[in-house]
Structure 1
Amino acid sequence: MADTPLASLSLTHVHYDPNDPISYFCAWLALVPQGLCVMYATLIWSTREIEILLMFGGQLACEALNFALKRILKEERPKQMHGKGYGMPSSHAQFVAFFSLSLTLFLLFRHVPKKPTPSHTPLSMLARFALSGLALANAGLVAWSRTYLSYHTPKQVLVGCVAGAVTAVSWFLVTTVVRQIGLLSWAIDQPIVRLFRMRDLVVEEDLCQAGWEKWEVKRISSSSTSKGKKRR
């Protein structure tokens, strides 16, 4: 075992200049796709929202497209980069472009929250615009960081952004049709889907609302019961 050469797990292996704070910041930005995957898994497991599962399915399709494009185009990374694999298009840029644009399309066009109630105030259109702007800005930072760290050329990053954006719009249109023709409703009613308790509420409700109104009713009821006991 002592003579066996060790390998590097390249999933989180990032080259950066330790003397450059911006380079260090860019190294952290390289971990954004991994963080988003953790977020996807957490939200799907905790909320069982079919919309999030659909978005994750599109994200995986986007990654499959990037895998295919790299092996078709076979363009090398910049010469100063010591990493492995082809560079065209940038997988990081494509990943975050898909995520940010998909989130923007959902917040601005598909998410139609119910009217405000005493126990819940849904996200305003201004808040949804702000969240969309933050997501798009984050995608821009991640894409820019790939050229700063010399992992990709500007052209490779641009093509990655375009590929991610086209995939996001295409997937949004496909899922819209799936919803309109009733295929999604049919799928949710299938026994195997019901077994995992999948639901389709986030289109009308915010994630933070899940169970909140039920909790408020219980809290008010418990408070009233406690006050009644004290008066006795």
Structure 2
Amino acid sequence: MEEDKPLASLSLTHVHYNPEDHLSFLSAWLALVPQALCVVYVTLVWATREVEVGLMFAGQLGCEALNFALKRIIKEERPKQMFGKGYGMPSSHAQFVSFFAVYMGLFLLSRHSPNLANDSLIFRIVASLGIALGSTAVAVSRIYLTYHTTRQVLAGCAVGVVFALAWFSFTGFLRSYGWVEWGLDHSVARLFRLRDLVVSEDLAEAGWQRWETKRKTRRSANGGRSSSKED
């Protein structure tokens, strides 16, 4: 009897596409971007313990919760030619990537100010535009794969942008009034070694400088021992 039971499909990664259409194949991969970004979020939160990354991830999850609620309030069906389940208004993919692009762009252009001689505003602008372009591709792919109508995707983008602006303002309020600093002084935050360096420091560059200093110290120590042996 167990063998007769039909199997279910995990719709989280199950994407319909036309295997003979290269753009459809690319769109299927673009559909996995939100899942990939969630993996990146969790990895960065665990590896860096940066409070800014945690705040952005919290906002991203809040945006997803809002999408979940809106779909069940509006109850608009997906396009008829789509075989998937669930409501389509607004597009969760479009809302997800819109939030990510807007919040990241605002962070790079107005909050992130690393004290580096080679820091370039142009580079941060280009990075923001690149993220926005990639997010647009993800949103358009939902229309191309007929998972959503153009109206559903545009609605998702609008909600994502508005929520990103609101959440960025809220996190700015927390910083301005010292709530972030207060939270970092809490015993729980100290237990998990939470920190707030990414706003004023390039983490890759800081890590590289510490690594270079450690290497130079080790080489100097090895050289000193070699000299003493020769004497």
Alignment correspondent of 1:130: 126
1:146-161 map, 5 Å: 146-161=142-157
Partner of 2:216: 220
Q: Select between 8-17 and 213-222 the one with higher mean Cα deviation.
A: 213-222
TM-score between the two structures when normalised by the length of structure 2: 0.95
Report the counterpart of residue 26 of structure 1 in structure 2.
27
Which amino acid is the alignment partner of residue 75 of structure 2?
A: K
Q: Let me know the Cα RMSD of the aligned residues.
A: 1.1
Matches within 5 A, 1:24-103: 24-103=25-104
For 1:169, the equivalent position in structure 2 comes to 165
Q: How does 1:178-197 map to 2 (within 5 A)?
A: 178-197=174-193
Matched to 2:46, the amino acid is W
Provide the rounded CA distance (Å) in 1 between the counterparts of 2:185 and 2:125: 33
Unaligned runs of 5+ in 1: none
User: Aligned equivalents of 2:84 and 2:90: distance in 1?
Assistant: 15
Aligned-pair CA distance for 1:124 = 1.6
Partner SS state of residue 87, structure 2: coil
Superimposed CA distance per residue, residues 172-220 of structure 1 (whole angstroms, 9 cap, x where no aligned partner)? 0000010000011000110011111000000011121343322222111
Q: Distance in 1 between matches of 2:80 and 2:167?
A: 35
Q: Structure 2 stretches of 5 or more lacking a match? A: none
CA shift, 1:229, in A, is: 3.3
Provide the C-alpha distance between the structure 1 equivalents of 2:222 and 2:6, rounded to a whole number of angstroms.
Answer: 68
Q: In structure 2, the residue corresponding to 1:203 is in which secondary structure? A: coil
Q: Number of residues paired by the alignment?
A: 227
Deviation at 1:111, TM superposition (A): 0.4
One-letter amino acid of the structure 1 residue matched with residue 100 of structure 2? F
Normalization by structure 1: what TM-score?
0.95
Residue 3 of structure 1: aligned partner: 4
